[in-house]
Chains A and B, each alone.
Chain A
Amino acid sequence: MLAAFAAQPAGAQNIANYQPVTEARLLKPEPQNWLHYRGNFEGWGYSSLDRITTQNVRRLKPVWTFSTGTVEGHQAPPFVNNGVMFVSTPGNQVLALNAKTGDLIWRYKRELPEDIIQSHPTNRGIALFEDKVYLATLDAFVVALDAKTGKMLWESKVDDYKRAYYFTLAPLVAKGKVMVGTSGGEFGIRGYVAALDAQTGKEVWRTYTVPAPGEPGHDSWQGEDHWKTGGGSVWVTGHYDPKLNTAYWGTGNPSPWVGDMHPGDSLYTASVIALDVDTGNMRAYHQYTPNESWDWDEVSAPLLIEFKRNGRDIQGLVHPGRNGYLWLLERQQDAIKFVDAKPFVKQEVFTAIDPKTGRPTVDESKKPAIGKTVTFCPSHWGGKDWPPAAWNPKTRLLYVPAHENLCSTFKSDEKRPDYEAGKRFAGTDAAATRVFRREGAKHIGELQAWDLDTGKKVWTYEYPHINWGPVLTTGGGLVFAGGSSDRMFRAFDARTGKVLWEFRANSGVTAVPVSYMVDGVQYIAVQAGLGVDAQKMITRLDQTMKTSTYVPQGGVIWVFAVKD
């Protein structure tokens, strides 16, 4: 056994002519490839490929599949670099495949420690840079693999999984640095973004999302030592503006969840933070929900979009928030300015938004508090959770996967819980939590299209049940998304929201779809394999709706093309 692990497996198939992913290519990715988590640094989820159109999409058919051999939440996009596909799955497995044929080229599987807690058994993607593939792991390492062979080149321990620090996000690579953020907001971690040298794995900087004594923002934490366990996870990949040399990251809930267990605004939780990529210095922030109390992690980074407002072109940050508001902000050197915010689902907690600062006023009767049982809408999964929205520069519409008509009840503990490393630190009675569909409502999931220039919603597609579908939009005038418990993966007309094509997969489709091209053929690729929060929401809804919903688990990579 010792010998088996000491020696390299024989007969590895190298990828001939692998094209290194340079910084220049990351800045201007070719249309035929998918080199970023969301296709570009701006986070658009957009492919300019236009061979699959509103006219021919009805002829879209599967051309190959690949079973991942794992269960739970398949959420990662297939990355594609000149005909080579890289896919990560739950359990920190990476598969390298021929993107045209589905032939497996190599497989990497991290063996996780037996005592690990997989609170979020998922992985949201890898990153590509030069000749390496980067994976952030559930046991809080960053691993660099040889893109040609899958051989591990280095691993760098970033934190201690036994204290419930773990990674689920796809790393962001820019300017030779691999940036990752920590999960663990239900366990009283102190969130951060860390940058490693892409060549060596050595940590270059680390910026905490909860400031220590003496740092700006620390006075927003009133309780002694609350900041040490203050939460502010970084669940999802940041977006990057090369001109400003700034990466924008969303931050999660404060810990514990309940607001008066962490009095003060609790900066920089439930915020967007702007970090200098060279130094990690925080240049600006905007907090969406001060003293956040509803588990409304603002997990997604805002999309970098130019939109018009009052006759002005604004270099924007656009964020459909977990708190149910669509936030329009302006990014500037060393500043984030509030532009506008409006609810995109029924939001019964905020009573007003300050027009200058964007600070919400809260109905205190709908805010969880020590010793109280409180009901609020949207639910603690919010108006939009982690599944990313998409922006199409041709239609100039933003596509938002949303949950409407969903509410939660929290029963908060009688006192702030004592922190214990690696233990749940939420401050609510999980057995008393309820999630329910609003009385009289007929649907829950929505896919919405918004015109940012006018601030108006253009179309809405309604799902009777959940929608945990990340969104892809294309130059062919299409929007692709799964997300529903009926296991469908759908293509919509990007301008009207009409369903033009649908395909029933093996499991629910809650992964990020992508598009790429090999030898002149455009493909659509996505993983099916429902789990994690989508599974949890189904279970919670079954409890209150007295239903019994079974969505089989198990991962499959699906690749589609139009066949004549």
Chain B
Amino acid sequence: MTDKTTTKVRTQVSGAGARRNLLKAATGAAALGLIPVRATAQADPRSMRPQAGDRFVYSSGPRKGAVIATSDLTAGGPHVTAYAQHPESAVVRDGSRLNEVLLVRLDPRDLTDTARVNAPDGVVAFSAICTHAGCSDWAWDAAKKMLKCPCHESEFDPKDEARVSVGPATRRLPRLPVKVTDGALVVTGAFIGRIGSDLT
């Protein structure tokens, strides 16, 4: 492998990701007034990540769309999956599967000291997108109180800020800070950490 050869290598990129970058590039140009563009994904309230002040609704199952109160969550698990909802407009932020959230209610005494912060009544919230390959179908290990991803067997500890206890994932699930206001579970800030798979 000579330098001469490697410097001549052609690298091609294509695919939906590349088109997305084109859109980003176009958006940047639009900010400079160069190209008119339609509203982008980030401006679409359905596609926005959970925002401070949002509440939660079930993302699937028989109660899909119903608002989740702390009392709806079974102490000690299992988890439920949710989307954030803007309280005034009732817009559910389900425009991207990357917005889905895992809610787990645990005994606060089982949480680590750092996990107990922003965990009202023991409720912790994480991104539902596995950091390994992007799966979002979760199983609950009731004995160990662990979140298991059946795609590739990664296991995360919700008692310790979704630390990886079994790989192949190498990064914890991003946490979403929450509080309880008048019995309602409310988002207080943005996800802590990058949402999505480490493979893309």
A residues at B contact (CB < 8 Å): 1-2, 5, 8-9, 11-13, 71-72, 90-92, 101-119, 121, 137, 139, 141, 143, 145, 149-152, 155, 162, 420, 422-424, 426, 429-431, 433, 531-532, 535-536, 539-540, 553
Contacts and interface: CB of A to CB of B under 8 A. Distances in A.
B109 interface: no
B110 interface: no
Given A13-B9, A121-B133, A429 B14 contact: no
B197 interface: yes
10 contacts: A13-B10, A105-B9, A111-B14, A111-B17, A117-B135, A117-B151, A118-B197, A423-B60, A424-B150, A535-B168
A536 B17 contact: no
Interface string B1-24: 110011111111111111011101
A430 B141 CA distance: 9
Contact of B200 (A106, A113, A149, A431): A113
Main secondary structure of the interface of A (DSSP, over half): loop
A12 B6 CA distance: 10
Nearest to B166: A539
A139 to B, nearest CB: 6
Given A1-B28, A5-B21, A431 B140 contact: yes
Given A2-B29, A431-B141, A114 B98 contact: yes
Top 3 nearest A-B pairs (CB, nearest first) are A111-B17, A430-B150, A12-B10
Given A430-B139, A431-B140, A539-B166, A107 B1 contact: no
A424 B199 contact: no
B143 to A, nearest CB: 9
Nearest to A553: B168
Contacts of A143: 14
A106 B7 contact: no
A115 B96 contact: yes
Given A119-B135, A424-B150, A9 B15 contact: no
A107 B196 contact: no
Given A111-B16, A431-B148, A118 B134 contact: yes
B113 interface: no
A110 B14 contact: yes
A96 to B, nearest CB: 9
B153 A539 contact: yes
A539 B141 CA distance: 15
Contacts of B199: 71-72, 90-91, 118, 121
Contacts of A150: 10-12
Given A5-B22, A104-B1, A431-B139, 6 more contacts: A102-B1, A104-B5, A107-B9, A111-B15, A112-B16, A151-B12
Contacts of A536: 152-153
Contacts of A429: 139
A122 B2 CA distance: 29
Contacts of B141: 431
A422 B97 contact: yes
Contacts, number: 165
A508 to B, nearest CB: 13
B136 interface: yes
Contacts of A113: 15-17, 20, 200
B8 A11 contact: yes
Interface in B73-106: 96-98
A430 B148 contact: yes
A111 B134 contact: no
Nearest to B136: A117
B192 interface: no
B166 to A, nearest CB: 6
Contacts of B136: 117, 423
Q: Find the residue from B7, B9, B25, B96 having the highest chain A CB count within 10 A.
A: B9
B48 interface: no
B67 interface: no
Nearest to A72: B199
Contacts of B6: 103-104
Contact of A137 (B15, B98, B166, B200): B15
Nearest to A95: B9
A522 B13 CA distance: 33
A423 B200 contact: no
A226 B67 CA distance: 31
A117 B22 CA distance: 22
B200 A114 contact: yes
B107 interface: no
Which among B97, B148, B151 has the greatest number of chain A C-beta atoms within 10 A?
Answer: B151
B137 A423 contact: yes
Contacts of B96: 115
Contact of B97 (A11, A71, A115, A121): A115
A532 B199 CA distance: 12
Interface string B139-174: 111100000101111000000000000111000000
A430 B97 CA distance: 21
Nearest to A137: B15
B52 interface: no
